[in-house]
Amino acid sequence: MDSLSRYCARGSTCKEEMVPVSPNVSLRVITFSPSQQEQNPAIVFVPGLVSLMEGWREVLLEMTKDFTVYYIETREKITSKVKGKVDYSLEAIGQEIAALVSHFNLESRGCILFGSSLGATAILESTRFLDTGPLCLVLIGPNAVFRIPKFYRFIVRIFNPRLYLVFKPVVKWYLKTFRLDTEADYAQYEKYCQSLDAADPWKLKKAAIAFSRYEVWDLLAEIDFPTLIVGASRDTLHEPENLKKMVAMMKNAVYLDLETNKLTHSSGMVREMRKYIVQLK
């Protein structure tokens, strides 16, 4: 627990547990509770694909000052416990988010669903399975599609995860060369490299295959919860133009540009979230 205390505000407490979300899958959930219980809704925090908590430290330090936070590590992450054949689709991950909302009895109390990248897209999927809607969604760079070139799709399908150490530098090179603006935000590239280094290659392969043909567009018109979509105009990986298109297709969404991935992962992001929540009341 001492290591987890690095990620929460002074005086806050943290608890780690494995929670079953289906017969074959249990997820690691870390609950951060502030020293003084405010009237704020709880936050269900869903980070991106193989994302590490270290990349969210500044956000969590600010968030846990006055919010109870349920930090969820989804099934593609190395911490999940998986038995047998398991579905890694966005729909399955959305269902597990809904299951955790129910498990922690957050529907009756209201909550904020906060996620990034894959986690943000999974939150959009989860809205189909919630009995009661959240107060709002706060989504950082949700993926409308997952752009994996056809050649790479073929490589992933035939790839033996035992060779991950050989394949990993190719993935890093592809991100650096074609998907990231390293001049604007080199820290984003370093963060993704750390996540890839810590990933479970067996789960990552299954997830990449499941996501490769996914598109979110048909889902958006059905979502009417208040939604803040946060983009970064210099973060080309998360395709800002797609984010604006998503906002236009949703009934109750607004867009905020924080320019860089670094700023979307900062304490300033939490302050912007607080401003958004206030205007909902």
List the chain domain ranges.
4-146+214-280
| pLDDT score of 155 | 59
Q: Using 50, 70 and 90 to split pLDDT, how confident is the model at 2? A: low
- Residues 219-236 pLDDT 10s: 999 999 999 999 988 877
| pLDDT score of 170 | 76
From CA 91, how far away is CA 77, in angstroms rounded? Answer: 16
| pLDDT score of 163 | 65
Contact 34, 9 (CB under 8 A): yes
- Alpha carbon separation from 106 to 64, 99, 101, 110, 216 (Å, rounded): 17, 10, 5, 6, 25
Burial of 103 (0-12, 13-18, 19+ CB in 10 A): middle
- Residues 91-101 pLDDT 10s: 999 999 999 99
Q: Using 50, 70 and 90 to split pLDDT, how confident is the model at 204? A: confident
| pLDDT score of 148 | 61
| pLDDT score of 210 | 85
| pLDDT score of 197 | 75
What is the mean pLDDT of the segment spanning 176-194? 72
pLDDT at position 121 over 80:
yes
267 or 51: which leads in pLDDT? 267
Q: Using 50, 70 and 90 to split pLDDT, how confident is the model at 150? A: low
- Residues 37-71 pLDDT 10s: 778 899 999 999 878 899 999 999 999 999 999 99
Largest CA distance in the chain: 53
Instruction: Report percent pLDDT > 90 for the chain.
Output: 60
pLDDT at position 245 over 90:
yes
Structure tokens given for 98: 């809904």
pLDDT at position 14 over 80:
yes
What is the mean pLDDT of the segment spanning 263-269? 94
pLDDT at position 194 over 90:
no
| pLDDT score of 101 | 95
Mark 117-127 as b/e (b = at least 16 C-beta within 10 Å): bbbbbbbbbbb
From CA 157, how far away is CA 208, in angstroms rounded? Answer: 9
DSSP 45-99: EE--TT--GGGGHHHHHHHTTT--EEEEE-TTSTT-EE-SS---SHHHHHHHHHH
| pLDDT score of 211 | 86
CATH 3.30.43.10 given to domain 4-146+214-280: no
